[in-house]
Structure 1
């Protein structure tokens, strides 16, 4: 009898426990879905905020901060305001001015057999205590069948807009000042190309593959004149205009030009600006 009562009590207790468990499961089912929805909504909102922040920061970097080549792409302002009208009127005559020698802003080598090799820089840079790295005012013209030299100029002067591209070499046997040198094969023949460059060439990234495209040839199979100037090309050069040329050996010519200018010499490829007013 007692065993039957005890068994009934156990069954009742088990039934109560089962009812409580079922009730807890039901409450959990009703509680979890809203919680998951809130968590999912929070994740979506945070993701949207992060995306908007990323887009804003990207836009800020693209519009607020200047690109690295910002300065090189600026147009040169005309400092000679009114001079063109003044001289065009015929009321004023300019005094005679000797030709101006314009040295290249840069003279860099590229390599046909290594098209991805970047042009060497700082070949003659020196270190001086108290000053740091010093770059001498020297230009290198080096031309072989596999080495070309790219020179670029910016003509600034008003009224000196008739330009002659010339090759200047020293007289044989002349004593040259420190830094200047000339090694030229007499049988050399060179060809000159004008390159299509709207902006200054960045010599830090310049290579044979990345150089500007050839616009046209301006001198073909020219023999360098030893001692003096050899005219390569004559062209108009308005104030503030950019001019980039590539110097190469003529096809079939086993040529060699290895010329260094120095602080006080102008050996190599230069421009002579002649008066036009």
Structure 2
């Protein structure tokens, strides 16, 4: 007689269920351990990456501030080239556009380090000094005039430099020798700080665009040259030969005398 012993009799199906349960439980443990190992490996790789990045940052010099004038110009006429290239879109004919210089000043070879005042002529008012809205084109054997233009319009990318000499600025008829003025394109793609411009630090001359004559037509222009949209065009007008003594003063936005630029349609 057996006492204190309990005998449990299970069926075959229950035994199989117990075995399967233990096998699944073992797989869960293995899966959890695998996930823990994978997460640990990822964390280790991240730590190594952060350490490497910190090491590189210590070796890299910090970037200085980028001057505003050195930033690239972003065109507002995006993808127009692709649209007109297909030939399916025809541009509306446009008349030439005359553009006054954005800035106009002089440089003097007899005072090569001298900066010209941006507003040499001012009006003394009770509220302070007010600069006159005037543009002066002055050319002598020592003094050149530098003008800054900007190609604003898309499809108007063929330009000419124009000189209009008013009657009061033309040489007297008894002058026996004619004065000639060279027109130079300067090698500079950014804006010019005219407050610090002198003969010694002006941009170098890149190309001779043409020349003007003091005794020529009242309005003369150079041969056309490329002026892509969104680019600065810097022009220098200097004395080539003869008694150069040109001094033209213009004011307002409608008086086109002296130096200015004309843009012609290219599409």
Deviations, residues 83-121 of structure 1 (Å, cap 9, x unaligned): 221222111111111111111111111111111111232
Q: 1:93 aligns with which of 90, 95, 115?
A: 90
Give secondary structure in 2 for the equivalent of 1:86. Answer: helix
Deviations, residues 210-248 of structure 1 (Å, cap 9, x unaligned): 11112232224x314666420124201111111112111
Aligned to 2:238: 248
Give secondary structure in 2 for the equivalent of 1:126. Answer: strand
Give aligned pairs, total: 202
Aligned to 1:105: 102
Alignment of 1:230-269 (within 5 A): 230-251=220-241, 253-263=242-252, 264-269=254-259
Moved over 6 A (4+): none
Contact 2:184 2:209 in 1 (8 A): yes
- Residue 164 (structure 1) aligned with residue 155 (structure 2): no
Residues 94, 137 of structure 1: alpha-carbon distance in 2 compared, 3 angstrom cutoff: farther
Taking only aligned residues, the RMSD between alpha carbons, in angstroms, comes to 2.3
TM-score (normalised: structure 2): 0.69
Q: 1:188 aligns with which of 166, 179, 182?
A: 179
Residues 184, 238 of structure 1: alpha-carbon distance in 2 compared, 3 angstrom cutoff: same
Alignment of 1:197-276 (within 5 A): 197-220=188-211, 222-224=212-214, 228-251=218-241, 253-263=242-252, 264-276=254-266
Distance 2:82 2:266 in 1: 14
- Residue 152 (structure 1) aligned with residue 140 (structure 2): no
Contact 2:73 2:230 in 1 (8 A): yes
Contact 2:189 2:231 in 1 (8 A): no
Distance 1:90 1:137 in 2: 44
Q: 2:80 aligns with which of 79, 83, 97?
A: 83
